[in-house]
Structure 1
Amino acid sequence: MAPNQRAISRLIAQAGQMLLAHGAESTLVGHITHRIGKAAGMDEVEVSLSASSLVVTTVYKEHCVTTARRSPDRGLNMRVVTQIQRICIMMEKGILDYQLAQKKIDQISPERYNRWLVVVMIGLSCAAFSRLAGGDWAVFAMTFLASACGMIVRQEFGHRHFNPLLNFAITAFVTTLISAQAVIYGIGAQPQLVMASSVLMLVPGFPLINSVADMIKGYVNMGIARFVMASLLTLATCLGIVGAMSITNVLGWVQ
């Protein structure tokens, strides 16, 4: 067995673990890990993926090393994905060896935008949808308020590592509770648009797109797992919306 095969296997496993945890589609995870292994001198690299883990096997001169890693969801972060892709390309071009690549991967941190910038931009995006649907500026303002407050709640629960399903349900509840005030007090020409637009931030678009992409490209089990999780997030959102509508006795967009 090559003296560095274990270290290379750990490098490949760590790269795949980070890609999977931060929202990369399964095909990309498989391709990047295979390319890293080949660039590091391995004869063969095989990766098996599941919803929350991966198994990596490397072969070098008929010696085989297999390692498994858990990969819990860390939230979408394309910066991590692109950083690992850059490391892979530099290894293929001979700029990095596996030791330097390991140091660079260890230095990758999932940096995020300023939380208040995210709150403002989410509020504006949902409010823009209300305008596109025909709402006036009063509807725009109420949608901004409801979705911004909902995003603050979502961030606080996410920061405290609550279950994502509970997070989505409570966020939808609070957002709908605030947006229902527009209907109760008749704010704007079409106040029901506030209730419909303010919860659009909770649509799990990225997981749904990844699930379809995985199934089309042959990773059926991964696609099904991601689709089920996205469906559960949608169900949790619906429960939060219905709960708030029941308390306020406002049917909102159903009317």
Structure 2
Amino acid sequence: MEANQKNITRFIINAGQMLLAHGAESTVVADITRRLGLACGMEEVEVSLSASSIIITTIMDDNCVTTVRRSPDRGINMSVVTDIQHICIMVERRVLDFTLAQHKLEQIKPKRHNRWIVVLMIGLSCAAFSHLAGGDRIAFAITFVASAIGMIVRQEIAHRNFNPLLNFAVTSFVITLISSQAVIYQIGSHPFLPMASSVLMMVPGFPLINAAADMLKGYINMGIARFVMATLLTLATSIGIVGAMTLTGAWGWVH
């Protein structure tokens, strides 16, 4: 029975580790892991979260098993979170037993969209912001080019596993360097709009939302950690923007 409890504990902490690594909010991580443990026959399941690790304790027949796993950031991917939630529901409804659930968990792989579709959609979304702000077709085109090239740079840096802060700083530098040409050469009726619109792709919206949700739901430490990380990403973005503007001298539109 003790060996079975250890296996179940490993199973549920692996699920929690994947949830935390792929951007699930703390309430979801704690709730899903607890439900999985209870559905697998545990009497009690206690979960403790930190910014980079997860601790789970299971109790069954007066036996207590505690395990800890580090959970490095694997990038936001809601398909993983959804797949684990489906496994949890199927275990609760007795559609899957422990062995099948463990096998399904091991088969989960992050789904990735085609990189060129992502580049296209990011370029169009930022260009749409410039159009909504009153930009003409030239502003639309410059914003599209700057944000699309910036997304390619971001993907390449992420693929090589560089620090996210460096990624954000370099990407925002490249984007601003390209979009600032509209200000330097006074291209279009609103040359400042591409600079303002093309960097919107760098806003860390998801971490900020998760940070607020965690703090509102009682996970203060997790919320603060996520808010600090989102703030650092914003600071890195600002450094890249200021560096490019200093290099090109495109400060006129700020005043």
**Both structures adopt the same fold (TM-score exceeding 0.5):** yes
Q: Is the partner of 1:158 in helix, strand or coil?
A: helix
Q: CA deviation at 1:61?
A: 1.0
Check whether the contact 1:193–1:253 (CA below 8 A) recurs between aligned residues: no
Partner in structure 2 of residue 62 of structure 1: 62
Partner in structure 2 of residue 156 of structure 1: 156
Q: CA deviation at 1:3?
A: 3.5
Partner in structure 2 of residue 106 of structure 1: 106
Query: How far apart, in 2, do the equivalents of 1:219 and 1:175 lie?
Result: 35
Query: How far apart, in 2, do the equivalents of 1:180 and 1:236 lie?
Result: 18
Q: Is the partner of 1:76 in helix, strand or coil?
A: coil
1:74 aligns with 2:80: no
Identical amino acids, percent of aligned pairs:
70
Quick one: structure 1 residues 252 and 219, their matched pair in 2 at CA, closer, same or farther if it must change by over 3 Å? farther
Q: CA deviation at 1:8?
A: 0.4
* Structure 2 stretches lacking a partner, 5+ long: none
Q: CA deviation at 1:2?
A: 3.6
Partner in structure 2 of residue 205 of structure 1: 205
Partner in structure 1 of residue 89 of structure 2: 89
Query: How far apart, in 2, do the equivalents of 1:27 and 1:72 lie?
Result: 18
Once the two structures are superposed, what CA deviation does each residue of 1:143-181 show, in whole Å capped at 9, x if it has no partner?
000000000000000000000000000000000000001
Check whether the contact 1:210–1:226 (CA below 8 A) recurs between aligned residues: yes
Check whether the contact 1:192–1:252 (CA below 8 A) recurs between aligned residues: no
Partner in structure 2 of residue 178 of structure 1: 178
Quick one: structure 1 residues 253 and 223, their matched pair in 2 at CA, closer, same or farther if it must change by over 3 Å? farther
Check whether the contact 1:26–1:49 (CA below 8 A) recurs between aligned residues: yes
Query: How far apart, in 1, do the equivalents of 2:249 and 2:171 lie?
Result: 19
Q: Which moved more, 1:178-187 or 1:21-30?
A: 178-187
TM-score, length of structure 1 as denominator length:
0.99
Check whether the contact 1:195–1:252 (CA below 8 A) recurs between aligned residues: no
Check whether the contact 1:180–1:252 (CA below 8 A) recurs between aligned residues: no
Query: How far apart, in 2, do the equivalents of 1:184 and 1:231 lie?
Result: 30
Q: CA deviation at 1:97?
A: 1.1
Query: How far apart, in 1, do the equivalents of 2:216 and 2:252 lie?
Result: 37
The count of corresponding residues between Structure 1 and Structure 2 is: 255
Once the two structures are superposed, what CA deviation does each residue of 1:179-205 show, in whole Å capped at 9, x if it has no partner?
001111211110100000000000000
Q: Is the partner of 1:74 in helix, strand or coil?
A: coil
Partner in structure 2 of residue 21 of structure 1: 21
1:33 aligns with 2:33: yes
1:133 aligns with 2:133: yes
Amino acid at match of 1:35: R
Amino acid at match of 2:152: I
Aligned-pair RMSD on alpha carbons?
A: 0.8
Query: How far apart, in 2, do the equivalents of 1:98 and 1:200 lie?
Result: 44
Check whether the contact 1:208–1:227 (CA below 8 A) recurs between aligned residues: yes
Check whether the contact 1:143–1:194 (CA below 8 A) recurs between aligned residues: yes
Query: How far apart, in 2, do the equivalents of 1:214 and 1:72 lie?
Result: 18
Q: Is the partner of 2:180 in helix, strand or coil?
A: helix
Amino acid at match of 1:250: A
Within 5 A, what are the aligned runs for 1:170-249?
Answer: 170-249=170-249
TM-score, length of structure 2 as denominator length:
0.99
Q: Which moved more, 1:132-141 or 1:183-192?
A: 183-192
Check whether the contact 2:183–2:253 (CA below 8 A) recurs between aligned residues: no
Check whether the contact 2:147–2:199 (CA below 8 A) recurs between aligned residues: yes
Partner in structure 1 of residue 4 of structure 2: 4
Partner in structure 2 of residue 48 of structure 1: 48
Check whether the contact 1:18–1:71 (CA below 8 A) recurs between aligned residues: yes
Q: CA deviation at 1:253?
A: 4.4
Amino acid at match of 1:58: T
Q: Which moved more, 1:181-190 or 1:213-222?
A: 181-190
